[in-house]
Homo-oligomer: A and B are copies of this chain.
Amino acid sequence: MSSAGSRRGPTGSVTVRALNLLEVFSPDQPVLTLSEMSRLTGFPLTTVHRLAADLTAWGALERDGSGRYRIGLRLWEVASLAPRGTMLRELAMPVMEDLSQITQENVQLGVREGTEIIFLERIGGKRAVPVRTRVGGRFPIHASSIGLALLAFAPTVVQDEVLSRPLERFTEKTITSADELRRTLAEVRKRELAISDRQVTMDALSVAAPIFSRPGVVAAAIAIVVNAETAQTTALSQMVRAAARSIGRALQPGGLTARGQVGGLSR
């Protein structure tokens, strides 16, 4: 292993290289050959071959009928123990199902990871507007209502980092001015509610509420996404706020914070 190790210096340990091999898989490329993995990681083919063999033996990778590699079910199984992933989702699911059944609209659950949001769950409504999210997918934090709800309660250092960078424009309504985003976040903190009105796509409006695991500490956010033309924001706001409070209660005692403690989740 040491010959490959010297390519990347002391930070490129074998463990990290094995993990780097896993992260070249993507929604667009869920199945890869060894040569593709070599090209995407920059690792020599012999290194990729050895790492892939180890990962496959354990089940972190699987091979398909044509010999190509994909992320394995064993990794999915272990990862389902992530307290901020499947376990938070499990607690939120009954409330999300209620909200989805009542409204027949899209209901989403997300957490913050650095300056991005990761969607933990999405329930599609019968008469729902198309949404751009994917479970396990990332999304910039400044456009969606879930992102705004999470960013508003993030540490100042995280907010400053987002505000210091160019804000990607998705529609003509996307907030791309740091000053305007700062004002919006202050409003979200005051109301404990975020609204994204055609800021992601021109047909969708979403309303999100932060989920508090304890006062002032936000573990996740829940949102409902509806057609912007017919949105009844007052009614939606009340329902989303109630859902967020209900999930927050389920997180206690101990609760899950964005980076903090976990407790009472051993079920």
* Chain B hits for A97, CB < 8 A: 100, 123-124
Q: What separation, in Å, do the CA atoms of A198 and B30 have in the docked complex? A: 39
* B93 and A124 contacting across the interface, CB-CB below 8 Å: yes
* B64 and A262 contacting across the interface, CB-CB below 8 Å: yes
Task: Using known A-B contacts A30-B81, A124-B94, determine if residue A16 contacts B266 with beta carbons closer than 8 Å.
Answer: no
CB within 8 A of A19: which of B23, B60, B65, B82?
B60
Task: Using known A-B contacts A15-B54, A65-B257, A124-B94, determine if residue A72 contacts B76 with beta carbons closer than 8 Å.
Answer: no
CB within 8 A of A265: which of B30, B57, B62, B83?
B30
* Chain B hits for A266, CB < 8 A: 27-30
Distance (whole angstroms) from the CB of A177 to the closest CB of chain B: 30
* Chain B hits for A57, CB < 8 A: 16
Given contacts A25-B78, A31-B262, 17 further A-B contacts (CB under 8 A): A15-B55, A26-B81, A28-B266, A30-B262, A31-B83, A62-B82, A64-B260, A65-B260, A74-B113, A76-B80, A77-B138, A81-B136, A90-B135, A97-B123, A97-B124, A101-B101, A134-B267
Distance (whole angstroms) from the CB of A51 to the closest CB of chain B: 6
Q: What separation, in Å, do the CA atoms of A111 and B59 have in the docked complex? A: 15
Tell me if A242 counts as interface (CB < 8 A to partner B).
no
Binary flags per residue of A233-249, CB closer than 8 Å to B gives 1, else 0: 00000000000000000
Binary flags per residue of A167-181, CB closer than 8 Å to B gives 1, else 0: 000000000000000
